[in-house]
Amino acid sequence: MNRYEGRRVLITGAGSGIGQATVHRVLAEGGLVVAADVSEAGLRATYATAEADGTAGRLTTAVLDISDETEVRTGVAAAVAALGGLDVLVNAAGILRSEHTHKTSLEFFNKVIAVNLTGTFLMIREAIPALLAGDRPAVVNFSSTSASFAHPYMSAYAASKGGIQSMTHALAAEYSKQGLRFAAVAPGSISSDMTSGNGPGLPADADMSLFVKLAPALGEGFASPDTVAGVVAMLGSQDGAFITGTEIRIDGGTHY
Q: Mean pLDDT over residues 199-221, rounded? A: 75
Percent of the chain with pLDDT over 70: 94
Per the annotation, the verdict on 47 as an active-site residue is: no
**CATH architecture, domain defined by 8-250:** 3-Layer(aba) Sandwich (3.40)
Q: Mean pLDDT over residues 155-178, rounded? A: 98
Q: 20-45 burial by CB neighbour count: b if 16+ within 10 A, else e?
A: bbbbbbbbbbebbbbbbbbeeebbee
Distance (Å, rounded) from C-alpha 129 to C-alpha 127? 6
Catalytic entry in 4, 47, 157, 175: 157
What pLDDT is attached to residue 195?
54
* All structural domains of the chain with their residue ranges: 8-250
pLDDT at 214 over 70: no
User: Which of the two residues, 207 and 65, has the higher pLDDT score?
Assistant: 65
Q: Could you report the per-residue pLDDT of 190-205, keeping only the tens digit for each?
A: 876 655 544 467 899 9
pLDDT at 64 over 90: yes
Q: Mean pLDDT over residues 227-249, rounded? A: 97
What pLDDT is attached to residue 188?
86
Alpha-carbon dihedral 22, 23, 24, 30, rounded to 10 degrees = 110
In the structure, what pLDDT confidence band is assigned to residue 220 with cuts at 50, 70 and 90? low
